[in-house]
Every structure is written in C-alpha cells, then in structure tokens.
Amino acid sequence: GGAHIEIKAVDNFKFLNSSYAPVLGQLQSTNLRKFYFETRAANSTTDVNNMKFRNPKYLSMLNHLRFYMPEMYPKLHKILFLDDDVVVQKDLTALWKIDLDGKVNGAINTCFGSFHRLSEYLNFSHPLIKEKFNPRACAWALGMNIFDLDAWRLEKCTEQYHYWQNLNEDRTLWKMGTLPAGLVTFYSTTKPLDKAWHVLGLGSNPSISMEEIEKAAVIHFSGDMKPWLDIAMNHYKHLWTKYVDNEMEFVQMCNFGM
C-alpha cells in the first residue's frame, strides 16, 4: 500500500542532449524562437487560428519527455502516463491487466463523425504524410495512456519519433505540439481503451455531462481553460479545487484564480 513519489528535473536525464534528441536542438534554435516571439504580434491580426500553435509552452522540453519513458525508466516493463491537468477519480489497477495485444500504447479514441481524424492534425498536402497515413484514421488522446515499454523498445518508437521530428524541423508535416508527434509515432501501435477510463475536454468543452464525468476513472482538463485560471469553466472548477490545499505555503505563493 501507499505511494512513492519521485520528482526529477530534465537535467537528471543525461541522455537528453541535442545530439540524441532532435527536438531539443529544435527548441533551442533561433528560427523557432523567432517563430514564437518575433512574429506573434503580426500574426495575431492576420492568422488568428494559427496563434494557438504559437503558445510558448511548446518550447518546453517537458512536453516531449513522454517520448523518452523507456530511457527514463530502463527497468520498467509497463508504465501509466498521466498529464499534469488530470484528476484520478477511481482505482486504475485494472489498467495493468488490459491485454494490449502487442501494441505499445493504450488510449481512448477521440474521433466522432468527421471530427478528430488525422486530417485535423497532419498536413496531408505533404507527399510523405499522404503516403504513410490515412487521413480518416481516428485520433486518440494523450493525457492518460498505458504504455508497454517492452513493446515500445521492440518497435523502436523513440527512433520513430526522432525520424519524424527531424523531418518536421521546418514544421511542414504538422505545426506544433506533442499530439501530432504521438499520432505518427504510435500510428499502428495503439489499442483503443474504453472511453470511461478517460474523459477529456474539461478545459475546452462546456457540454460534457456530469453523468459522464462521474463515471470516468480519469478526468482531464485539456484545453486552455485550466481549472486554476480565472477563465476556467465554473461548473467544472470544483472537480479540481476540492483537492487543492489552499493553506499550503506553495499554493499561496501561486497566483491561481481559485
């Protein structure tokens, strides 16, 4: 019983350097920083939709650490990945017993009708994307994933991730973010999970029913309206704040909209 908590910094992982991890060199590049900081004002009026891809959070290596879990935990065979904006509501033990059928990634599918297909995330006007992927293929969610690290190593998924990141240095295959990178890396190695494991969109979708939320093992505040911000949706906010100890010194030091 009980839990062991270990906190590590990016610097603890010595294998993470620009010669091994292409994204690290890309994040440090002058061109990418110009893309974010020097052209934001001009694009804010001419390309509103593109602005979401110019969020400086995408410059953080923390967003990409998820692609290095076999190297981070070389002795583990399986791992449960949880994003930092989730609430675990139920026992997740049964996830470990799910047979992934040799697949690497267990995740819920997010597509419905014509929405959340690969065509929304990848540039299918690029010949390589058009050749390798099906635009109608269903997208899946990052944020609560069960990964078989032995299968990951066997399938060489980190190498696949590096391959696609190198090709996308000029951002012509997809714009930014880790979901498109995940969709190409685990394209044929993902097994769909029951949707009750992971309900997402509490930071973007005001129409999720409380019944669906109550049944979920994990709820995910994916989207811009995080529960700790003033712009959070009030009817979801209590699902997060009830777990926050506002008397805690470090919480009081933060400018949270609670």
Average pLDDT over residues 198-206: 96
Give pLDDT, residue 46: 42
Average pLDDT over residues 55-79: 86
Give pLDDT, residue 47: 44
Give pLDDT, residue 183: 98
pLDDT-derived band at 26, boundaries 50, 70, 90: confident
Residue 136 Cα distances to 61, 74, 113, 147, 162, angstroms = 30, 35, 10, 24, 24
Give pLDDT, residue 45: 40
One DSSP character per residue, the chain reads ---------GGG-TT-STTT-HHHHHHT-HHHHIIIIISHHHHHHH-TGGGGGG-GGGG-GGGGGGGGHHHHSTT-SEEEEE-TTEEE-S--GGGGG---TT-SEEE-B--BTTBSBGGGTS-TTSHHHHHH--TTSBPB-SSEEEEEHHHHHHHTHHHHHHHHHHHTTTS-S--SSSHHHHHHHTTTSEEE--GGGEEE-TTT-TT--HHHHHH-SEEE--SS--TTSTTS-HHHHHHHHTT--TTSHHHHTS----
Residue 203 Cα distances to 44, 111, 116, 178, 179, angstroms = 22, 18, 17, 18, 16
Average pLDDT over residues 13-18: 88
Give pLDDT, residue 220: 98
Higher pLDDT pick, 35 / 95: 95
Reported pTM: 0.88
Average pLDDT over residues 46-66: 63
Domain extents for the chain? 10-196
> Which tokens belong to 243?
């777990």
